[in-house]
Structure 1
């Protein structure tokens, strides 16, 4: 899998946006205005390509608390191939984040086990966002 990243609203970003639209808006029924919340221009977007086709994406934002990972999504036809895990391992090892104290995210409840395999741990109480139960998780570097 080839991984590309961008902090611009360019073609790589458009690929990320398309994956997110398919997964979050079409499959999960999340309102488009909630998914595309106006903060994409503040993030670094990562997209994984297999045979030239975009299959997985995530975005990151560096905050005072660390690296916030969001919008992790894999195209339906590409699931169960390890692409999301490969993308997240790439992000976790990216030298641009070497000084961050931790990585953190809000995981959909159905994805908790997946993130635990990458070393994330749950903290706090579950919460509901866009009608879906989430939990906060983090991984100290």
Structure 2
């Protein structure tokens, strides 16, 4: 997978397309919650298998953290370590910006995935868009 920091409108639309397929169509998140008013302050990422967009995420710099958000991989491309590749790429970008810790709100079903990548759970379970989540952090 080739991961790009979004630099143009087409790449941004590619990221939104992946996010909408995963979160809106597959998981039932309302589109108005998925594409929100924080998009303009985020660094967006798109992952491509050949030329096909298959992964997406965004990162915001919040309270000294790289806040990793909207991390998703199209269903047919899961199990290929693309999620790990994408998150490690995001963490590297955060480090290059002088950020030494990251935070994310993970769906509870993905907690073990993030733990394997060094994240520690720091909250109890809470609901976001009707899906159970927990907050996790990592020193970069």
| Deviation readout 1:22-46 (Å, 9 max, x if unpaired) | 0000010011111111211110111
Write the deviation string for residues 101-122 of structure 1: whole angstroms up to 9, x where unpaired. Answer: 3100000000001111110110
2:17 maps to what in 1?
18
Task: Please report how far the alpha carbon of residue 77 of structure 1 lies from its aligned counterpart in structure 2 after TM superposition.
Answer: 1.1
| Matched residue, 2:5 | 5
Structure 2 CA distance for partners of 1:107 and 1:20, relative to 1, 3 Å: same
Q: Structure 2-normalised TM-score? A: 0.94
Which structure 2 segments of 5+ residues have no match? none
User: What's the TM-score, normalizing by structure 1?
Assistant: 0.93
Q: Which runs of 5+ in 1 are unaligned?
A: none
SS of equivalent to 1:21: helix
Q: Which runs of 4+ in 1 moved over 2 A?
A: 94-98
Note the 1:37-116 alignment, pairs <5 A: 37-94=36-93, 97-116=96-115
Aligned residues: 140
In structure 1, distance between residues paired with 2:89 and 2:99:
15
